């Protein structure tokens, strides 16, 4: 086998120019594929991270009926038993974010607006999404406060300012009437238009009192110490909780619609990458065909003096494989500095595109992903292409007519 490998290596460099051109085509295709995929994955990772921290968290514990019917009547009881269960995972849980949310009608002397009321624990909420940094006027909530925070868009619609008073009307737990008068403590800019125009924040205890839902939550968000172990932690918590009462959901389920949109968007990148790999395949195939035509007499002579056809096929396979691997490795090495540089120094967007990103709560940058799988996957794909390309020379070698080839 060592001899066959040596022969294959020497055969490659009998025509240096052709070999280098083929390797270069593989190199640049792999380089471009890695850069495209790294950029796309980096953008999605940043988007998912922002959505998880701003909205859903990595894991949520909900009442078993809440996902199908998100009503406050299907809120969960935050019992001592549940607290003790979660305390058993304290080494894996970074912090917990309790929330209770429901809709209410916000009213002033001249305006009304349907709004989402979110009851929060201010300290844990700021750990998760830096809500206190979004305060643009007034004061931030404190635990047990009777006042509310208004999102900037809603405050503009209702023409409210810190110190003003508003009325909230809604339906509380099990059909009770929820009504109250609340002072506006501050205004926060949430950036995302849909949230900015409809959101009101209360302290958790204030929201539970307002909806008549003592010790109840619509969701209990769990932020793991290691986000990479989200699924293992969610599965472990699910085993320790009663499935008749509680449901443990990961961020993939909570952001299912967003992930579907991402997969649809990835189709464009996959088409571009596919074109690059078609270039690789035809480049390799063209090289192999040329080598087969030029060396027919050589192959016939080798078979005549005793070299087995299977051994000749192995030599041809090694040649194809070495050209592919050299190109892949060179492409990976060339891409690593680029990916690392743009990972550490993301491309800064400017103008209207940057403003659009800011308006939706995302930092106006184009980050890259340094996930090792981005690099490894390219080697795997090119290896498959090499194996497919090898079918032709193997077929020709085993069907080679020695008499005709020598002429």
pLDDT tens by residue, 291-306: 777 777 777 777 777 7
Greater confidence (350 vs 142) lies with: 142
pLDDT tens string 162-182: 999 999 999 988 888 899 999
Domain count, the chain: 2
87 and 202 together in one domain = yes
Domain span at residue 307 reads 2-52+258-406
Mean of pLDDT values over 342-361 = 72
**Does any domain span residue 20?**
yes
Place of tokens 């395949």: 281
276 and 379 together in one domain = yes
pLDDT of residue 89 exceeding 80: yes
Domain boundary among 192, 207, 242: 242
Give the percent of the chain with pLDDT over 90: 22
74 and 35 together in one domain = no
Structure tokens of 142? 């404190």
**Does any domain span residue 320?**
yes
What is the value of pTM for the model shown?
0.69
pLDDT at residue number 104: 93
237 and 264 together in one domain = no
**Does any domain span residue 252?**
no
| CB-based contact 155:196 (threshold 8 Å) | no
174 and 316 together in one domain = no
pLDDT tens string 98-128: 999 999 999 988 888 999 999 999 999 888 8
Long-range interactions of 241-246: CB distance < 8 A, separation 24+: 241/61, 241/82, 241/85, 243/64, 244/64, 245/63, 245/64, 245/76, 246/61, 246/62, 246/63, 246/64, 246/76, 246/82
pLDDT of residue 403 exceeding 70: no
């Amino acid at each position: 086998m060592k001899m066959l490998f040596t022969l294959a290596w020497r055969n490659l460099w009998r025509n240096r120019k052709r070999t280098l051109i083929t390797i270069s085509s593989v190199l640049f295709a792999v380089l471009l594929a890695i850069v495209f995929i790294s950029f796309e994955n980096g953008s999605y990772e940043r988007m998912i991270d922002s959505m998880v921290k701003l909205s859903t968290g990595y894991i949520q514990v909900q009442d078993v009926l809440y996902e199908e019917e998100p009503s406050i009547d299907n809120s969960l009881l935050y019992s001592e038993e549940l607290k003790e269960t979660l305390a058993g995972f304290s080494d894996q849980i970074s912090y917990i974010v309790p929330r209770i949310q429901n809709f209410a009608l916000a009213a002033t002397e001249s305006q009304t607006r349907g709004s989402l009321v979110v009851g929060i624990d201010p300290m844990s909420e700021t750990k998760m999404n830096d809500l206190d940094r979004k305060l643009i006027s007034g004061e931030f909530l404190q635990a047990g406060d009777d006042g509310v925070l208004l999102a900037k868009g809603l405050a503009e619609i209702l023409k409210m300012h810190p110190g003003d008073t508003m009325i909230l009307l809604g339906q509380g737990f099990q059909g009770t009437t929820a009504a109250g008068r609340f002072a506006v403590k501050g205004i926060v800019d949430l950036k995302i238009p849909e949230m900015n125009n409809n959101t009101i924040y209360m302290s958790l205890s204030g929201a539970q009192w307002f909806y008549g839902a003592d010790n109840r939550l619509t969701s209990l968000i769990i932020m793991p110490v290691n986000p990479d172990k989200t699924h293992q932690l969610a599965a472990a918590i699910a085993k320790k909780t009663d499935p008749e009462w509680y449901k443990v959901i990961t961020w993939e389920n909570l952001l299912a619609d967003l992930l579907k949109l991402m997969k649809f968007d990835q189709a464009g990148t996959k088409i571009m990458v596919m074109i690059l790999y078609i270039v690789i395949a035809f480049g390799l195939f063209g090289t192999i065909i040329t080598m087969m035509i030029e060396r027919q007499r050589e192959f016939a002579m080798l078979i005549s003096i005793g070299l087995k056809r299977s051994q000749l096929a192995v030599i041809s396979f090694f040649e194809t494989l070495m050209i592919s691997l050299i190109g892949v490795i060179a492409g990976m090495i060339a891409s690593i500095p680029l990916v690392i540089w743009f990972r550490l120094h993301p491309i800064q967007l400017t103008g209207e595109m940057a403003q659009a990103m800011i308006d939706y709560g995302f930092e106006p940058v184009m980050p890259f992903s340094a996930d090792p799988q981005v690099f490894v996957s390219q080697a795997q794909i090119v290896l498959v292409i090499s194996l497919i390309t090898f079918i032709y020379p193997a077929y020709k070698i085993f069907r080679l007519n020695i008499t005709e080839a020598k002429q």
